[in-house]
Amino acid sequence: MSARDIRSVRLLLGGFCALTALVLTLCLTAVTSRPNTLSRALTEAEVQEITQRNSPLTEYILLSPNADFPRADEIRKITIHHMAGNMSLEALGDLFSDRDRRSSASYGIDSEGRVGLYVEEGNRPWTSSSRENDHQAVTIEVANDETGGDWHVSDAAYETLIALCADVCRRNGIPSLTYTGDETGTLTIHKMFNPETECPGPYLESRMADIAEEVNRRLSG
């Protein structure tokens, strides 16, 4: 092997080692940036600390690993989803803790009107089939008390949804919610980002303008 060939091999080996080191660094950074509170029961102190960073309406917490830590944009929007079933907060938390499902949401609301937290507001949930939207939005899954049909939600869930939206807006400096019927509004729904879904179902979709109006009334009151 000539001296020139030896230099070429050394350069290739050097480049390979540098690339390997970069990949390892990125992997270690990704691991260390993930909080140690994921997919487990929390201490009372942890619950209090996490609740202080998020909505005080929260009654249940099980943090999902299916998220980006932290989100890459400011919170500007709220995106509404439905559970396509009458799930409990605990069952939804177990679902979002499954890494293979690769899905999550910021909050969930059950049919009794209780609020669960699954991805802290400072992180990006994997909810809306749109990275761009999820980096800007707090996403909320609402339980259905009717399977199929209009996918109705209970009055308690609906009232809590309005209260949670108003709370998210106040704490994140969103002056008002606008529902435009497309992704340009500050109140959006899942189907705007995925043509293959009807989420959040006809009932909630038909109430989006009403939700925005009531939230704005509370924000201005």
pLDDT (tens digit per residue) in 100-128: 999 999 999 999 999 999 999 999 999 99
C-alpha 221/C-alpha 216 separation (Å) is 8
CA dist., res. 50 & res. 37, Å (int): 10
**pLDDT at position 33, please?**
78
Give every CB contact of residue 75 below 8 A, 6+ residues apart in sequence: 121, 136, 137, 138, 168, 172, 174
Name the residue with tokens 């500007």: 76
Structure confidence at residue 18 (pLDDT): 43
For the chain, which residues score pLDDT lower than 50?
5, 8-9, 14-32
Identify the pLDDT of residue 95. 98
Taking the CA of residue 21 as centre, how many other CA atoms within 13 Å lie in the half-sphere pointing to its CB? 6
Q: Tabulate helix, strand, coil % of the chain (nearest 5).
A: 45, 15, 40
Q: Contact at 8 Å (CB) between 141 and 83?
A: yes
State residue 21 phi and psi, 5-degree precision.
-65, -40
Residue 12: predicted pLDDT = 56
- pTM for the model stands at 0.86
Query: What is residue 176's predicted lDDT score, i.e. its pLDDT?
Result: 98
Spatial distance between the Cα atoms of 188 and 218, rounded to a whole number of angstroms: 19
